[in-house]
C-alpha cells in the first residue's frame, strides 16, 4: 500500500508539473475557440473545436465541470459520425475524467476509444496514445492486470513503428504497473531501466528525470535507501542542469523523504525539506508547500519537537485550506490529533481526530457523487448510441409509410382512369385492376419488411451485447447465442409478440451482466444474485423440468468475499445442460451452498444428473472452451490477488457404482 501511494504521488506530481498552465494564458485561446465554434457549420470540425475548447477549460482550476460538460456533448454528437472522430472524443473525455481522478470512468472511455480504431491502419499514433492512456487509468484504478494488457498493446504497436517516444512511455507504464504486483519487482525494474536507456539515447531530459524519480521511489519503497538516494541525486543533478526550480524542489523533497523513512539522519532530512520548501515558496506552489510542511510536521513529531510539529502542521493546514485540498487537510488534522494525544492534551486530540473524520467523510461523499455522475454519463452516452440505432430502424418504417401513402394516391388515380376506360375495352380494365392488386401486394410486403428490419435491429443490438459479454466477461457464449438464435427463428416466423417477450427477458439479464463488464472483481453476494437470474432463464427455457436451491450460511460476511464476475456460470451451465437435462429421473435438482472455512469460504454446486462419465460419452467429440477460459480467468486472478481460488469435481455414486450426479467444490482462500 505504501508503494502504491508513493508511485501515484510521483506520477501525479509530474502530471501537474507538465500540464499546469497559468489561467491568464488560457483566456485568449478560449475566446478564439468560442468565436470559431460559433462560426463553424461543419459538424466534424465543430466537434474537434469542442475537444480543443474542453482541454483549455480543463487548465482553469474552476472550470473542470465546464470542460467535462463540453467534452461529453462532443462525444454525444460524434457518436453518429465516423469511428475515428468518435474515438478521438471518447479519449478526450477519458483524459479530462482522469485529470479529475475519476479513473474508473476514464478507463471505460479510453478502452472504448482504442477498440473502435484497433483495426484501422491510418491512425497508428492514436492507437498507441489510447492504449497508453487506458493503461494509466487502469493503474490508477488499481486494475493492474488490465493496465499491463493495454501497455503491452501500446508497446507492440510502438515497436512495430519504431516509435521510441511511445516505447519509452509504454515501458515506464509497465514498470509502474508491475511494481504494484507482488513478485514482479525485477520485471518492473527491467522495463523502467529500458525506458531510462531510451530517454538518455533520445536526449529527453524530462523523460530521464521521470525515470530517475520512479526508479528511486521504487527502491525507497523496498527500503533499499542507499540505491534510492543514488537515483534521487541523479534526479537533482539533471533538474539543476535544466534550471527547473520545481524539479529541484521535488528532488530535494524525495531525498528528504528517503532519510525520514529510513530514520538514519533526520537532521539531514530536515535540511533537505527546508531547501525544498524555500524553492516552492519562491515559485508560489502552495500544493508542494503544504505537502512539504506536512512532512516537516511529521518529522518534528518523530523528533519529539512537539511545538515545532504543531506550528508546521498549522501552516500546512492554512495552505491546504487556500487550495481547498481536503486530502491534505485530513492528513494534517490526523497528525495533529496524534501530536496532541502524545502531549496528553486529550480534548484537542479528540477535536482534531473528529475534524480528520469530517474531512474523510467529505472526501468519501465527493467520491460517491463523482461515481454517480460517472454512471449517469455512461448511461446517457449508451442511451444515445441505442437511440441512433432505433432511429435508423424508425426511418426505414417512415420511408415505407411514405411509399404506401404515395401508392395510395396513385392507386386512386388508377381507379378513376379505370372508370373512364371502362367503356373503351374490358382488356384495359383487366390490366389496370391487375396492376392495382400487384401494387397493394408490394406495399404490404414493404410494410412487413420494415417491421422485420425493426425487430432485426433490436435483435442485432442484443447480439452485440452478447458478443461484448462473451469477449469481455469471458463467459461461455453459447447460452446467449442459442437464446438469440431462438429469437431470430421467431422473427423469421413472424411470431413478433413472442420474440419481443423473449428479447425483454434476455435484455434484462444482459444489462445485469454488462454492469460488471469493467469490474475485475465483485462480491460473492452479487455473484450469487447474477447466477440466480441465469438459472431462472435456463429453468424457463426447459419448461421447469428441474428444481434449484441456493443456500447461503455466511450471512453479512459474504460481502467481504470477492471473485471474478460470472465465475460460477460455466459450472452451473454444465450441471444443467450435461447433468440434469439428459437425466431421465423424475426428480432433477440443482443446489448451490456457500459455507465458511478456516481460511475463507467453500462454494458447493451439486446436481442429481447423469454424472460426468455419462455426460462425457454424449459429448465425446466436443472440446469445452468454457473450462479452458475459466481456468485462465482463475489463474489470472490468483496471480494478481492475495485471494486464491481452486476447484475440484466429486463424482457421486451409490454402493453399486451407479452415478448419482456431480458435485463441484470451489474453495476461496485468503492469504492476507
What's the rounded Cα separation, in Å, for the pair 243 and 240?
A: 5
Contacts (Cβ under 8 Å, ≥6 apart) of 537: 483, 505, 506, 509
Count of helix runs (H) and strand runs (E) in the chain? 25, 7
Torsion angle in degrees (nearest 10) through CA of 58, 59, 60, 62: 40
- Please return the burial class of 134, using the count of CB atoms within 10 Å of its CB with bins 0-12, 13-18 and 19+: buried
- Domain boundaries for CATH 3.30.565.10 within the chain: 522-527+539-672
Residue 8's pLDDT band (cuts 50, 70, 90): very low
Contacts (Cβ under 8 Å, ≥6 apart) of 19: 59, 99
From residue 221, give the alpha-carbon distance in Å to each of 3, 184, 567. 5, 14, 35
pLDDT at 24: 40
CA-wise closest residue to 174 among 196, 140, 150, 157: 150
pLDDT, average across residues 386-415: 65
Q: What is the DSSP letter of 208?
A: H
pLDDT at 368: 58
> Tens digits of per-residue pLDDT, 123-136?
899 999 999 999 99
The pTM of the full predicted model, rounded to 2 decimals, is 0.50
Cell 521504487 found at = 218
Provide the grid cell at 313.
502542521
Contacts (Cβ under 8 Å, ≥6 apart) of 366: 326
From residue 94, give the alpha-carbon distance in Å to each of 36, 87, 258, 369. 24, 10, 34, 18
CA-wise closest residue to 94 among 72, 123, 64: 72
pLDDT at 358: 83
Distance of CA 248 to the CA centre of its chain: 36
> Tens digits of per-residue pLDDT, 275-311?
999 999 999 998 899 899 999 998 888 888 999 889 9
Report CA Rg, the chain.
Answer: 32
Cell 524539479 found at = 247
CA-wise closest residue to 220 among 253, 267, 195, 173: 253
pLDDT at 362: 75
Residue 463 has pLDDT above 60, yes or no: no
Strand bridging mode 643-653 / 589-597:
unpaired
Sign of the CA dihedral running 314, 320, 324, 329: negative
Residue 474's pLDDT band (cuts 50, 70, 90): very low
What's the rounded Cα separation, in Å, for the pair 562 and 576?
A: 25
Cβ neighbour number for residue 293 with a 10 Å cutoff = 25
Cell 523533497 found at = 253
CA atoms within 13 A on the CB side of 308: 13
Q: Judge contact between 30 and 53, C-beta under 8 A.
A: yes
pLDDT at 4: 41
> Tens digits of per-residue pLDDT, 160-178?
999 999 999 999 999 999 9
pLDDT at 26: 40
CA-wise closest residue to 378 among 515, 553, 533, 176: 515
pLDDT at 622: 57
What's the rounded Cα separation, in Å, for the pair 75 and 57?
A: 17
> Tens digits of per-residue pLDDT, 320-376?
888 888 888 889 989 998 988 999 988 988 888 888 888 788 767 666 555 555 555
Q: Judge contact between 453 and 396, C-beta under 8 A.
A: yes
What's the rounded Cα separation, in Å, for the pair 251 and 272?
A: 9
CA atoms within 13 A on the CB side of 447: 10
Contacts (Cβ under 8 Å, ≥6 apart) of 350: 337
CA-wise closest residue to 316 among 341, 340, 292, 350: 292
Cβ neighbour number for residue 67 with a 10 Å cutoff = 24
490 or 356: whose pLDDT is higher? 356
pLDDT at 28: 72
> Tens digits of per-residue pLDDT, 575-628?
998 899 898 888 899 999 999 998 889 999 999 998 888 877 777 655 566 778
Percentage of the chain with pLDDT > 70? 83
Residue 253 has pLDDT above 70, yes or no: yes
What is the DSSP secondary-structure string of 112-131?
Answer: HHHHHSTT-SS-HHHHHHHH
Strand bridging mode 589-597 / 600-607:
antiparallel
6-20, 77-91, 185-199, 299-313: least confidently modelled range: 6-20
Provide the grid cell at 587.
426428480
Distance of CA 528 to the CA centre of its chain: 22
The CATH number of 522-527+539-672 is: 3.30.565.10
Q: What is the DSSP letter of 549?
A: E
Contacts (Cβ under 8 Å, ≥6 apart) of 256: 269, 270, 271, 272, 273, 276, 295
Amino acid at each position: 500500500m505504501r508503494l502504491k501511494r508513493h508511485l501515484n504521488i510521483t506520477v501525479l506530481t509530474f502530471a501537474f508539473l507538465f500540464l499546469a498552465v497559468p489561467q491568464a494564458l488560457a483566456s485568449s485561446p478560449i475566446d478564439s475557440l468560442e468565436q470559431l465554434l460559433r462560426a463553424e457549420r461543419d459538424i466534424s470540425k465543430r466537434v474537434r473545436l469542442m475537444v480543443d475548447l474542453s482541454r483549455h477549460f480543463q487548465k482553469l482550476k474552476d472550470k473542470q465541470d465546464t470542460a467535462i460538460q463540453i467534452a461529453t456533448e462532443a462525444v454525444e454528437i460524434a457518436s453518429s459520425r465516423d469511428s475515428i472522430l468518435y474515438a478521438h472524443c471518447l479519449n478526450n473525455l477519458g483524459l479530462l475524467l482522469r485529470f479529475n481522478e475519476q479513473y474508473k470512468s476514464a478507463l471505460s472511455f479510453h478502452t472504448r476509444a482504442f477498440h473502435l480504431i484497433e483495426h484501422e491502419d491510418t491512425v497508428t499514433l492514436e492507437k498507441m496514445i489510447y492504449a497508453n492512456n487506458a493503461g494509466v487509468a487502469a493503474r490508477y484504478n488499481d486494475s493492474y492486470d488490465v493496465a499491463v494488457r493495454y501497455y503491452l498493446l501500446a508497446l507492440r504497436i510502438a515497436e512495430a513503428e519504431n516509435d521510441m517516444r511511445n516505447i519509452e512511455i509504454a515501458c515506464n507504464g509497465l514498470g509502474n504497473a508491475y511494481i504494484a504486483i507482488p513478485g514482479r519487482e525485477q520485471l518492473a525494474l527491467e522495463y523502467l531501466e529500458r525506458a531510462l536507456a531510451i530517454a538518455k539515447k533520445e536526449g529527453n531530459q524530462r523523460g530521464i528525470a521521470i525515470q530517475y524519480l520512479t526508479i528511486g521511489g521504487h527502491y525507497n519503497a523496498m527500503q533499499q535507501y542507499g540505491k534510492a538516494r543514488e537515483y534521487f541525486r541523479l534526479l537533482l543533478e539533471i533538474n539543476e542542469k535544466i534550471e527547473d526550480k520545481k524539479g529541484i524542489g521535488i528532488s530535494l523533497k524525495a531525498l528528504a523523504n528517503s532519510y525520514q523513512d529510513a530514520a538514519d539522519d533526520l537532521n539531514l532530512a530536515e535540511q533537505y525539506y527546508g531547501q525544498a520548501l524555500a524553492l516552492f515558496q519562491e515559485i508560489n506552489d502552495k500544493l508542494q508547500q503544504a505537502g512539504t510542511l506536512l512532512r516537516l510536521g511529521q518529522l518534528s513529531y518523530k523528533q519529539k519537537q512537539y511545538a515545532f510539529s504543531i506550528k508546521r502542521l498549522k501552516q500546512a493546514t492554512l495552505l491546504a485550506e487556500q487550495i481547498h485540498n481536503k486530502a491534505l487537510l485530513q492528513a494534517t488534522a490526523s497528525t495533529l490529533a496524534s501530536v496532541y494525544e502524545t502531549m496528553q492534551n486529550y480534548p484537542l486530540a479528540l477535536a482534531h481526530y473528529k475534524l480528520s473524520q469530517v474531512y474523510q467523510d467529505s472526501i468519501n461523499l465527493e467520491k460517491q457523487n463523482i461515481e454517480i455522475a460517472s454512471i449517469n454519463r455512461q448511461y446517457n452516452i449508451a442511451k444515445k448510441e441505442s437511440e441512433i440505432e432505433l432511429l435508423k430502424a424508425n426511418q426505414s418504417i417512415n420511408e415505407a409509410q411514405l411509399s404506401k401513402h404515395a401508392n395510395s394516391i396513385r392507386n386512386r388515380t388508377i381507379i378513376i382512369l379505370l372508370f373512364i376506360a371502362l367503356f373503351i375495352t374490358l382488356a384495359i380494365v383487366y390490366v389496370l385492376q391487375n396492376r392495382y392488386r400487384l401494387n397493394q401486394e408490394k406495399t404490404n410486403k414493404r410494410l412487413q419488411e420494415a417491421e422485420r428490419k425493426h425487430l432485426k435491429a433490436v435483435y442485432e443490438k442484443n447480439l452485440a451485447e452478447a458478443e461484448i459479454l462473451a469477449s469481455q466477461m469471458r463467459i461461455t457464449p453459447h447460452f446467449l447465442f442459442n437464446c438469440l438464435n431462438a429469437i431470430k427463428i421467431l422473427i423469421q416466423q413472424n411470431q413478433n409478440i413472442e420474440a419481443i417477450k423473449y428479447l425483454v427477458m434476455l435484455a434484462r439479464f444482459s444489462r445485469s451482466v454488462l454492469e460488471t463488464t469493467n469490474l475485475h472483481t465483485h462480491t460473492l453476494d452479487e455473484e450469487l444474485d447474477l447466477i440466480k437470474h441465469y438459472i431462472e432463464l435456463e429453468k424457463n427455457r426447459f419448461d421447469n423440468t428441474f428444481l434449484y436451491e441456493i443456500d447461503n450460511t455466511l450471512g453479512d460476511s459474504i460481502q467481504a468475499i470477492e471473485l471474478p464476475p460470472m465465475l460460477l456460470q460455466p459450472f452451473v451451465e454444465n450441471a444443467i445442460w450435461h447433468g440434469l437435462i439428459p437425466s431421465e429421473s423424475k426428480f432433477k435438482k440443482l443446489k448451490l451452498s456457500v459455507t465458511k472455512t478456516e481460511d475463507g469460504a467453500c462454494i458447493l454446486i451439486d446436481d442429481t444428473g447423469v454424472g460426468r462419465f455419462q455426460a462425457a460419452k454424449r459429448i465425446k467429440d466436443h472440446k469445452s472452451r468454457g473450462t479452458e477460459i475459466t481456468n485462465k480467468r482463475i489463474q489470472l486472478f490468483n496471480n494478481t490477488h492475495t485471494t486464491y481460488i481452486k476447484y475440484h469435481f466429486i463424482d457421486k455414486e451409490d454402493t453399486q457404482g451407479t452415478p448419482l450426479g456431480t458435485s463441484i467444490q470451489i474453495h476461496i482462500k485468503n492469504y492476507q
